[in-house]
Amino acid sequence: MTYRLTDEQLMIQTMVREFSRKVVAEGAAERDQNKTFPGDILKKMGELGLMGMTIPPEYNGEGADTISYVLALSEIAYSCASTAVVMSVHNSIVCESINRFGTEDQKKRFLKSLAQGKIIGAFALTEPHAGSDPVSQATTAVKQGDQYVISGTKRFISTGKNCGLVIVTAKTDESLKHRGISAFIVPKSTPGLIVGRTEDKMGLRGSDTTDLIFEDCRVPVENRLGEEGEGFKIVMKALDSGRIGIAAQSVGVAQAALDATIKYMKEREQFGQKISKFQGLRWIVADMAVEIEAARQLMLSAAAMKDRGERFTLQASMAKLFASEMVNRITAKAIQMHGGYGFTKDYLVERLYRDARVFTIYEGTSEIQRIVISDNILKDKRSG
């Protein structure tokens, strides 16, 4: 079905589109080249209410629905995927997890500042030897009196260097496997929390990705998120929301690639006419537009199910899988359509191609999405 957006959703989309193309787009290429974190832009986004969109107003959020959020996120991604990934992790995973599982005290202490964008949130799950398998993580949290002592290393943490707090998962009971994982809110200033190496990445270079090292990092019991042993459940719920966010980013980047391609086709001449007149190239553009629209509808479908309070795990994985693979195809075609120019940094599509590549990897690879989808369709739990 085609979604009929409400006046409020359209108003949010229009407002963010204008902000994105005027403010976020400016300097995006330089931020990519210099690996500059978009701190000033994120501060402005906080003032606009974009850093706590789905959080209730009593915690300084906007109380918007998921459809409004993904429309806004797509518009930010259109101009700068690095800024969008920070927005996505912060909103979809960090703010939502604290809103869903946090105590009233935690919401007052942490969520209010997060929702205003005064501090940026990070989520530390992945480890050097445990990517999509949280049960294999080695980080531990040992309870000592009224504190937990966290020890371990987390890898590929988005905004690890520039965050103000991080939600970290750790084993509190090895013998219980996934039921022995707990989650903790750790402010960046906590002694024993050390920022390790910053990755030199192919794309999303304006968003820092770092190691976070926990060396006997002491966290008060009141900073545990949810009950002890609920960490795995918190992670799974967070990733469901995050995967809709990846779909939204994919749609935004793909739309930017298509628009850049159309503009180029209308300007570039070959064999005495604009290349937009060649039927073979027109058909490629038609296919690109169809794929983007299909991904957009999958994204909106998952978001609408979430807004209705329905189980949306399957739809989130479908949207993430299709959209992330779609944006890789679209940006590759965009470069092909630009010819040799597309291979140079003078043209936008080169950056879009690099930024899009990680979308099939983070927050669950395409292969993991296929496991989630097939498990949901076949309704059987595989052994192990």
Q: Which residues are catalytic?
A: 363
- What is the rounded CA–CA span in Å between residue 74 and residue 246? 9
Tokens of 359: 């979308």
- What is the rounded CA–CA span in Å between residue 214 and residue 187? 12
- What is the rounded CA–CA span in Å between residue 278 and residue 271? 10
> Which residues, including other chains, have CB under 8 Å from residue 29's CB and lie 6 or more apart?
345, 348, 351
Which position has the token pair 């937009």? 276
- What is the rounded CA–CA span in Å between residue 22 and residue 54? 24
Helices and strands per DSSP (H, E), number in the chain: 13, 10
* CB atoms inside a 10 Å sphere around CB 230: 17
User: Looking at this protein, which amino acid is placed at residue 374?
Assistant: S
- What is the rounded CA–CA span in Å between residue 148 and residue 142? 5
- What is the rounded CA–CA span in Å between residue 360 and residue 320? 8
Q: Is 160 helix (H, G, I), strand (E, B) or coil?
A: coil
CB hemisphere CA count around 175 (13 angstroms): 0
User: Looking at this protein, which amino acid is placed at residue 151?
Assistant: S
- What is the rounded CA–CA span in Å between residue 369 and residue 178? 19
- What is the rounded CA–CA span in Å between residue 263 and residue 284? 14
Q: Is 165 helix (H, G, I), strand (E, B) or coil?
A: strand
> Which residues, including other chains, have CB under 8 Å from residue 102's CB and lie 6 or more apart?
110, 111, 185, 225
215, 240 in Cβ contact below 8 A?
A: no
- In 3D space, the residue among 210, 178, 206, 215 whose CA is nearest the CA of residue 197 turns out to be 210
First to last CA, the chain: 38
